[in-house]
Amino acid sequence: MSTPTKAQVLREEKLFILLFIISIFLSHIGIIGIEDSTIMPNYFIALIVSFILMSKANLNLYKILTIGLIVDVVVGQLIGQYGLIFMAIYLLDLITIKMIVIKNEKQIEGLSIFLILSSFIILWITSKNYDMFIPLKTLLLQAIFTFIAYLFFKVIINKYISK
């Protein structure tokens, strides 16, 4: 795969910003038809996982931390929580692709599930430590919805980039 040109990266970054703003609004809206409004995907985790796995927008550790801190300030509960989660996603992806040869779509989907679950475990641990507890059952349902959101983001990214 060739190195993306500057124009391509700029295009991907624009898409990232757009999806990020959409995620901010979506994170304030419950899913229609589900009585418990807290059962909703974590759009930010889905967005970060999709961009990292597709190697788009030239994301690095510094950018990831900055995005995490923005999420913490805008919709988060604790400053640093999402910074930590996004960094963990980035590092886990880096370690995995250094250790395992990721060649096909199924492997990528498997990796995405692993990254989403890992990030939710960190979210659960930090929420438990910092007194803003989410029940584990709710969190698992959120993880399933997040995976669906990840697939949606992936489709959008593919369509937009291939245009």
Q: Which residues of this protein are in contact with other proteins, per CB under 8 A?
A: 1, 24-25, 27-30, 37-38, 40, 42, 44, 53-55, 60-62, 65, 68, 72-81, 83-84, 87, 91, 94, 97-98, 101-105, 108, 126, 130-135, 138, 142
Report residue 138 as tokens.
Answer: 């709710």
Distance of alpha carbon 144 from alpha carbon 160, whole angstroms: 25
Q: What are the distances in angstroms from CA 145 to CA 9, 31, 65, 131, 148?
A: 28, 10, 24, 24, 5
Least Å distance, CB 10 to other proteins, is 19
- Name the strand (E) or helix (H) holding 110: helix 105-129
CB of 77 or CB of 118, closer to other proteins: 77
Q: How far is the CB of 163 from other proteins (least distance, A)?
A: 18
In the complex, the smallest distance separating the C-beta of residue 36 from other proteins, rounded to whole angstroms, is 8
